[in-house]
Structure 1
Amino acid sequence: MQAIRNFFRSAWSSSERLDDKTVVITGANTGIGKEAAIDLAKRGAKIIIACRDMEKAQAAVKEITESSGSSTVSCMKLDLSDSKSIREFAEAINRDEAKLNILINNAGVMVCPYGKTADGFEMQIGVNHMGHFLLTYLLLDLIKRSAPARIITVSSMAHAWGSINLEDINSEKSYDKSKAYSQSKLANVLFTRSLAKRLEGTGVTTYSLHPGVVQTDLWRHLNGPQQFVMKLVSPFTKNSVQGAQTTIYCAVEPSLEKESGGYYSDCAPANCSAAGKDDDLAQKLWELSCRLLSITWD
């Protein structure tokens, strides 16, 4: 019902400005991340896009700059599948930036063949959850000093089909790429929920979201039948501009200032799965993530 109501609601828009604000967006050289960067740059924010491929990132910076008319868009190298790269990126941000008002954990991999990150994590849980978990941890002091600030993590409705396998988080016993993707997106929702509790009273708020079924590069690993289904439903899917709207909403909407830890879709609060509201599971995932990343984050 929520989806139907959202479908008929008028499109969200806001003239909110972000002058003197600094925004980091991961994986913003393409798709919804790039469209969010263009929108937030138009609002006056300083934008740093964090990407693995610097050639693509530089081309995206040129495009974002031209589309937004902003002169404060730059790119930095960040490989979320390698904790060494994440630490180097965070070190540079902490050293060079006076503030970080909005962190958008946008980068992701989807239904890819089995692979492992540099740190030995299954690729989807490694990039989509562990990489962003570590990145947020390393930038958190700067974000807190910049309050009011927001941390936005792009999840997916696929989280609703997911479960967290605490005994085999890296799918070493058996691998189903769709299940592993859903697990990583559920992890995004649980991380946002846990983070909100830990940040109460700091002026830093957190949000997770479903961007919609968006036509992006993420589809490249779908098999033949899945690609066919996607072609059939494509008239009902969103382009990247439409897909970026909920990310932008979570970044700028003033009424969300007092909200934290929730899940959003179509620029409105949405229902996440029962597992997405399981605080016991969220705590266990948090502890496991800290242990596997060798960090202490109370």
Structure 2
Amino acid sequence: MAKSGWGPAQAPRMDGTTVVVTGANSGIGLETVRHLARLGAHVLMACRNVEKADIARTDVLDSVPNARVDIVQLDLSDLASVRKGADEIADSHPVVDVLINNAGVMAGRHQLTADGFEMDFGTNVLGHYVLTGLLLEPLLAARSSRVVTVGSNAHRAGAIDFDDLGLETSFTTSRAYARSKFAQLVFAVELQRRLSAAGLTSPISVAAHPGATHSGVMRDSGALMSWLFTTPSLHWIRRTFIMEGPEGALPSLRAAIDPSVIGGQYYGPSGPMQFTGPPALALPSPRVVEPELGQRLWETAEELTGVRYPLTSTPQT
């Protein structure tokens, strides 16, 4: 765990709260669930693969025997599945205190979602956009709620070409993933902008990133990372510059539960290059907070998904 700075010892108890975590069956998502379970939250693991989620749930219960952890089947690459899962959550839990949009894919090749969107953008951005909108009512029912978007420092290399959302002729693994991570943070900022414009103090929209954390996405992010993770003589580099899942989950945990957090903030590791270290405030790329970009992405998501958030006002740009 964190050697100094903010860590689980500073985290408040979460008894009586309901937290939804997407992509909760492995990596950072699983460790986020474990942290929350130890703090007493009732955690809903929103996962595509129920069998893998059940194995992960058993793993959590082995380490936190009294944990309250349930599974909701939800595939972010299929908006019909997102709607079904969101309905199940809302019907069973009319109050949701925290939604952690953690799931993320790096497709590695040009693929389409069930709805015909480029896979990384359709899953990481549009899937979470729809889920958040459909869970807005139970989030509004909570006394104080949050939406946490889990991004990546890869967003700094991202850009959105609205004339080429499909990446039919310009696809590369890095371009697709960086674009999706950039768009996720634009979404997080725009959501907070719209909540504030509607006069709402809850929920708030916050973002986080795990730095350099040992995870499936990191291992699959190219030949260099594969070499780093599989070469025995490089174990000292992994130990020095890469965190394990429990530590990598702390920025998400802090964004989700620290009472000092306010809407629009972004948390990440505090060490050199934001690779490792206890979670602290971080600065995203300045492009993330451009109002015109946020509005265009939001309107594009509305058009592509047909989901419109029940907010009574829109921000001035």
Q: TM-score, normalised by structure 1?
A: 0.92
State the Cα RMSD in Å.
Answer: 1.8
Name the CA distance, whole Å, in 1 between partners of 2:31 and 2:3.
Answer: 23
1-side partners of 2:173 and 2:162: how far apart?
17
Distance verdict in 2 for CA 1:286–1:32, change over 3 Å: same
In the alignment, which of 233, 238, 242 is matched to residue 234 of structure 1?
A: 238
Question: Residues 70 and 165 (structure 1 numbering): CA distance in 2 closer, same or farther, change over 3 Å?
Answer: farther
Aligned pairs for 1:207-218 within 5 A: 207-218=206-217
- The alpha-carbon deviation at position 295 of structure 1 amounts to 2.2
User: Counterpart of 2:247 in structure 1: which amino acid?
Assistant: Q
8 Å contact from structure 1 (residues 90, 139) kept in 2: yes
> Which sections of structure 1, spanning at least 5 residues, go unmatched?
1-6
2:249 counterpart of 1:247? no
After superposition, where does 1:45-84 map in structure 2 within 5 Å? 45-84=41-80
- What residue in structure 2 maps to residue 261 of structure 1? 264
How far does the alpha carbon of each residue in 1:129-178 deviate from its partner, in whole angstroms, 9 at most, with x for none? 11000000000011011130011011000001111111112212310110
**Matched AA of 1:264:** Y
SS of aligned partner of 2:7: coil
Contact 1:153 1:209 survives alignment (8 Å): yes
Does residue 129 in structure 1 map to residue 132 in structure 2?
no
Q: Secondary structure at the match of 2:260?
A: helix
The structural deviation recorded for 1:271 is 1.1
Please, what TM-score do these two structures have when normalized by structure 2? 0.87
- 2:34 is the alignment partner of 1:34: no
Deviation per CA, 1:112-135: give whole Å up to 9, x if none: 211110001111001111100000
Aligned partners of 1:99, 1:106: CA distance in 2, in Å? 20
Structure 2 CA distance for aligned equivalents of residues 229 and 221 of structure 1: 11
Q: Paired residue for 1:281?
A: 293
Contact 2:20 2:100 in 1 (8 A): yes
Question: Aligned partners of 1:20 and 1:12: how far apart in 2?
Answer: 21
> Cα gap change, 1:230/1:71 in structure 2, threshold over 3 Å: closer, same or farther?
closer
Corresponding residue number in structure 1 for 2:314: none
TM-superposed deviation, 1:210: 1.3
Q: Corresponding residue for 1:271? A: 283
What is the one-letter code of the residue matched to 1:54?
A: V
Percent identity reads 36
Q: Which amino acid aligns with 2:65?
A: G
Q: Distance in 2 between matches of 1:78 and 1:227?
A: 29
Instruction: Flag structure 2 segments of 5+ consecutive residues without an equivalent.
Output: 270-278, 312-317
Following the alignment from structure 1 to structure 2, what is the Cα–Cα distance between the partners of residues 174 and 124? Answer: 14
Number of corresponding residues: 290
> What is the DSSP-based 3-state SS (H/G/I as helix, E as strand, rest coil) of the residue aligned with 2:206?
strand
- Which structure 1 residue ranges, 4+ long, deviate > 2 Å from structure 2? 7-13, 219-226, 229-235, 295-298
Q: Do 2:19 and 2:100's aligned partners in 1 also have CA atoms closer than 8 Å?
A: yes
Instruction: Give the deviation of 1:81 after TM superposition.
Output: 0.3
Q: Following the alignment from structure 1 to structure 2, what is the Cα–Cα distance between the partners of residues 71 and 243? A: 21
**1:193-238 C-alpha deviation (Å, 9 max, x unpaired):** 0111222224211111111111112245344344225565523111
